[in-house]
């Protein structure tokens, strides 16, 4: 088994030398709630195939999406350690917020709107790796074709390329992915502001 990537403090220079790139996060609404004692610990199967364990006090974040689901578990969701949540997420304080049906449904189920403000160091995997993140009791294999990210406290985690590109601005993403929807608007704005031709 290759070496396991675990939580570790690394400098920006070290991350760059390991092939990581720093990516900006889109400002998007995430609905979040603190995991109550009655549900802890909670096993979460992510949409990208990872199995995570949320402990008491963790914050569970939900992507509202476009479809109202009957239960919270049917929404795409993931756990965030409380100190990391406080450090990297901010309350959504837009006074003009008009919740979509899915946001309103999650709000009525105890979630509150916020957004992740922090950038992330990440890289596309060309080989399988093993990681042991905060929510993994044992090392797990992350297959090539996924994205490996390093969080604000040096914690490794993985996600699908699709999920990554929905959350972070990737200038290397294929044009057909960057020119549609919110991602396209942000991409064109960034290009405009940087003086690039669209």
Is residue 114 within 8 A of residue 178, CB to CB? The reply is: no
pLDDT band at residue 70 using 50, 70 and 90 as cut-offs? very high
Q: What is the predicted pLDDT for the residue at 47?
A: 75
Write down the mean pLDDT value for the chain: 87
Q: What is the predicted pLDDT for the residue at 90?
A: 96
Using CB atoms within 10 Å of the CB of residue 2, give its burial: 0 to 12 exposed, 13 to 18 middle, 19+ buried: exposed
Q: What is the predicted pLDDT for the residue at 51?
A: 86
Residue 75 has pLDDT above 80, yes or no: yes
Q: Which has the higher per-residue pLDDT, 87 or 134?
A: 87
> What's the rounded Cα separation, in Å, for the pair 89 and 131?
23
User: Residues 185, 119, 151, 88: what is their CA dihedral angle, to the nearest 10 degrees?
Assistant: -100
Residues of the chain with pLDDT > 90, as a percent, come to 67
> What's the rounded Cα separation, in Å, for the pair 42 and 119?
27
Q: Which has the higher per-residue pLDDT, 58 or 186?
A: 58
Q: What is the predicted pLDDT for the residue at 180?
A: 47
Cβ neighbours, 10 Å, residue 112: 14
Give 99's strand partners.
none
Is residue 75 within 8 A of residue 107, CB to CB? The reply is: no
Q: What is the predicted pLDDT for the residue at 147?
A: 95
Q: Is 145 left (phi over 0), alpha (psi -120 to 50) or beta?
A: left
pLDDT band at residue 1 using 50, 70 and 90 as cut-offs? low
Is residue 102 within 8 A of residue 66, CB to CB? The reply is: yes
pTM: 0.74
Residue written as tokens 């396209």? 184
Q: What is the predicted pLDDT for the residue at 32?
A: 98
Residue 197 has pLDDT above 80, yes or no: no
Query: How confident is the model over 13-44, as pLDDT tens digits?
Result: 999 999 999 999 999 999 999 999 999 999 99
User: Which segment of 57-66, 97-106, 186-195 scores lowest on mean pLDDT?
Assistant: 186-195
Residue 64 has pLDDT above 70, yes or no: yes
């Amino acid at each position: 088994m290759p070496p396991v990537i675990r939580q570790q403090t690394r400098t920006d220079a070290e991350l760059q030398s390991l092939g990581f790139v720093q990516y900006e996060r889109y400002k998007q609404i995430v609905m979040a709630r603190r995991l109550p004692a009655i549900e802890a610990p909670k096993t979460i199967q992510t949409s990208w195939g990872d199995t995570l364990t949320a402990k008491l006090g963790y914050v569970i974040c939900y992507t509202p999406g476009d479809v109202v689901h009957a239960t919270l578990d049917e929404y795409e969701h993931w756990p965030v350690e409380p100190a990391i949540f406080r450090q990297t997420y901010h309350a959504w304080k837009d006074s003009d917020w008009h919740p979509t049906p899915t946001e309103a449904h999650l709000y009525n189920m105890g979630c509150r709107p916020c957004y992740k403000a922090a950038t992330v160091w990440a890289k596309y995997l060309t080989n399988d790796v093993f990681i042991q993140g905060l929510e993994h009791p044992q090392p797990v294999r992350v297959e090539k074709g996924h994205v490996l990210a390093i969080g604000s406290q040096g914690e490794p985690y993985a996600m699908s390329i699709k999920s990554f590109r929905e959350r972070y601005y990737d200038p290397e993403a294929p044009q057909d992915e960057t020119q549609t929807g919110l991602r396209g608007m942000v991409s064109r704005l960034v290009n405009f502001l940087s003086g690039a031709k669209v």
